[in-house]
Structure 1
Amino acid sequence: MSTYATSVILAATEGHEGEGGFHTPSISDFFPPAILFEDTIFQIDRIWIIRIIATLVLLSIFVVAARNAKVVPGRFQSAVEYLLDFVRVQIGEEILGKDNAKRFVPMLTTIFLTILAFNVTGIIPGLNLASTSRIGLPLILALWVFATYWAVGIRKHGLGGYLKANLFPPGVPWPIYFILTPIELLQLLIIRPGSLMVRLTANMIAGHIMLVLCFAATQFFIVDSAGSGLMAFGVLTIPAGIFVTLFEVLVAFLQAYIFALLAAVYINMSLEEEH
């Protein structure tokens, strides 16, 4: 069995030592035992270590790329520039326009690359847990987006003008406002940031559970059930695990893109004169 599959199984069965049989993944996978400062607000566990590693790697990549930048870029520099241009053009300029994009590209790039790096840790051998699979980090990023679209909207339209444009859209019969206005207020305060963090967290949790289920099932069918008729099922779970791993690569990129894209959309909606 591959090193990746073995590390996934070890991570999934952490805390189940001494128990026999097949262990299904659960929400407890995302709350591993404390490594340092147990039972304090500074508690450090496995997912925090993964976040620190991902942050250091991400910063190192861009420091190296910046220090070794050349007029004619090599493969490494081209890959880094491609990611930066992707966020600038496909998200910033596409949604906000060239003028407004200049103000928000640093924010959008930070969000995209942070989420991408922290999502990818879910498929890296030895880590095997997406850093965004616990809601704290997605919550912080969602609150950043929330504060930004409120701030830019109020700065451009004033508090009254911003609330009027969002809560009382023009062209709507006035009796409808009794229904529409509370919904729009709920959207501004809760639905937009809530959807950002829940979508990201839920996708990363689901991906981890699917990966663990496939590889733990492979371990059970081929190793634990050696010599029985169940071994044949391992032939199915191995390619399923490989497929889910490749699919998680796509999901890691897609979720980073969707989060950054929606952040740009929400900011643009705050800058528009009418909605």
Structure 2
Amino acid sequence: MSVIGMVGIRTEGDSFTPPGPGNFDLPGFFEVAGQPVTKPMVQLVIAAVLVFWLFHAAIKRRELVPGRFQFAAEGAYGMVRNSVARDIIGSHDFMKYVPYLVTLFFFIIVNNFFGSFPGIQFPSFSRASMAYALAGLSWVIYNAAGIRRHGFAGYLKLQCVPAGVTPFMYPLLVPLEFFSNILVRPVTLALRLFANMLAGHLLVILFATGGLYMLQEGSLLVKPVGLLAWLLFIAISFLELLVQFLQAYVFTLLNAMYISGAIADEH
């Protein structure tokens, strides 16, 4: 098998077929109750176990003067607890949401980093269903928090009726606010994560496979372009690490903002 075949470049004669969304449609490893279990599904389980194990190991032998592992875990926890939960939700209510926000951030970032991890190289949330399921869970949590604080009718009024607006404008603004605050939020929340993971990984695949193809199959004039493509592949791979971190942070940050808006007395 050629190097091109090993990395997944499809060729037809001397032509190169660029990667596309079909590269993310992976076959199942095995079946459970007749349903295929795919690579992203396995990665979700691995990420959950890994996050639990890392924090469990960090606090299992807590010391007054923390070691490097405990110090790193406490610093990572403190970043989400203080910079996201407390600063956005407020010092009075933030602690009850810290476990979810911390778990959310590290679960997403591990799944995102799978896209750059050798041997895996597939971001779990580049599959839309994974991102929308996580956004749906967040939707339930922040709406439940608002209903618990204000009651069902009070929460709908808070989300759909803008303060300081004349009732004459209600027929126009109330449907828009309901659509924006209740229906669209989970869609945009998931779409942001999914689209960034899909596009970033697709770009990495394109430069890697396209550059390799030009180096192996191109003429002397084309080979330097293939080398440039590979240099860009390396640069984009490092940039993708930053994007993977930022998307986990933004997803968690928006969840904190939605919880804060749901439990606030008024907008």
Query: Structures share a fold, TM > 0.5?
Result: yes
Matches within 5 A, 1:195-234: 195-225=188-218, 228-234=220-226
Q: What secondary structure does 2:126 align onto?
A: coil
Deviation at 1:11, TM superposition (A): 5.6
Could you tell me which residue of structure 2 aligns to residue 124 of structure 1? 117
- The letter of the residue matching 2:27 is P
Deviation at 1:136, TM superposition (A): 2.0
**What per-residue deviation string (whole Å, max 9, x for no partner) do you get for residues 3-56 of structure 1?**
xxx89x84644xx4887642311111211122212994x311222233333333
Matches within 5 A, 1:96-245: 96-225=89-218, 228-245=220-237
- The letter of the residue matching 1:27 is P
| Alpha-carbon RMSD | 2.2
Could you tell me which residue of structure 2 aligns to residue 23 of structure 1? 17
**What per-residue deviation string (whole Å, max 9, x for no partner) do you get for residues 148-194 of structure 1?**
22212111111111111221122112222111111111123321111
Matches within 5 A, 1:49-68: 49-68=42-61
Give the TM-score taking structure 2 as reference length.
Answer: 0.91
Could you tell me which residue of structure 2 aligns to residue 74 of structure 1? 67
Moved more, 133-142 or 193-202: 133-142
Q: Unaligned 5+ residue runs, structure 1?
A: 1-5
Could you tell me which residue of structure 1 aligns to residue 266 of structure 2? 274
CA contact (8 A) 1:88 1:105 kept: yes
CA contact (8 A) 2:16 2:213 kept: yes
Aligned residue-pair number: 265
Alignment match of 1:252 (pick from 208, 233, 244): 244
Q: What secondary structure does 1:200 align onto?
A: helix
- Matched residues in 1 for 2:232 and 2:92: separation? 46
Give the TM-score taking structure 1 as reference length.
Answer: 0.89
**What per-residue deviation string (whole Å, max 9, x for no partner) do you get for residues 197-255 of structure 1?**
00000000001111001101221121232x53210112311221111111111111111
**Distance verdict in 2 for CA 1:262–1:17, change over 3 Å:** same
**What per-residue deviation string (whole Å, max 9, x for no partner) do you get for residues 97-144 of structure 1?**
122110100011111111101001011111111011112222222112
- Matched residues in 2 for 1:208 and 1:10: separation? 18
Deviation at 1:85, TM superposition (A): 0.5
Q: What secondary structure does 1:43 align onto?
A: strand
Deviation at 1:62, TM superposition (A): 2.1
**Distance verdict in 2 for CA 1:122–1:10, change over 3 Å:** farther
Deviation at 1:268, TM superposition (A): 0.7
Moved more, 92-101 or 46-55: 46-55
- Matched residues in 2 for 1:177 and 1:19: separation? 63
Q: Is residue 36 from structure 1 mapped to residue 17 from structure 2 by the alignment?
A: no
CA contact (8 A) 2:7 2:209 kept: no
Could you tell me which residue of structure 1 aligns to residue 76 of structure 2? 83
Q: What secondary structure does 2:125 align onto?
A: coil
What is the percent sequence identity of the aligned residues? Answer: 32
- Matched residues in 2 for 1:224 and 1:166: separation? 59
Q: Unaligned 5+ residue runs, structure 2?
A: none
**Distance verdict in 2 for CA 1:189–1:19, change over 3 Å:** farther
- Matched residues in 2 for 1:20 and 1:70: separation? 62
- The letter of the residue matching 1:243 is A
CA contact (8 A) 2:19 2:205 kept: yes
- Matched residues in 1 for 2:16 and 2:226: separation? 13
CA contact (8 A) 2:88 2:256 kept: yes
- The letter of the residue matching 2:85 is G
- The letter of the residue matching 1:232 is P
